[in-house]
Amino acid sequence: VRIELTDSIVGEALLYRLSGGVGSVVDSVEVLKHVANDDYGNEWLRTNTAGSGPFTLRRWSPNDLVLLEANPTFWGGESALKRVLF
């Protein structure tokens, strides 16, 4: 696999992100609105979401629960589940 970057970024930050077990596709336009101190919006993403998956975050209580609801604009079509509660 070869990855070619079009922008200058901190290599260590990229390697850290690529080596993580969990990844997601986010709305880069939304995330970039919240960049602080060259953090790529990471601080904002700690308590907010800008995902593109089949579910949206409806409620989150750290160390308690996560409530997801079907994303009506998901590109992959309608989900068989309306809600997921963890």
Delineate the domains of the chain, giving CATH numbers in brackets.
25-85 (3.40.190.10)
Residue 73 CB coordination number (10 Å): 6
Predicted local distance difference test score (pLDDT) of residue 84: 93
Q: Is 33 a residue whose pLDDT tops 90? A: yes
Task: Report the distance separating Cα 54 and Cα 70, nearest Å.
Answer: 6
Q: Is 15 a residue whose pLDDT tops 60? A: yes
More confident residue, 2 or 58: 58
Query: Average pLDDT for residues 20-49, to the nearest whole number?
Result: 85
Task: Report the distance separating Cα 5 and Cα 72, nearest Å.
Answer: 32
Predicted local distance difference test score (pLDDT) of residue 53: 84
Predicted local distance difference test score (pLDDT) of residue 36: 94
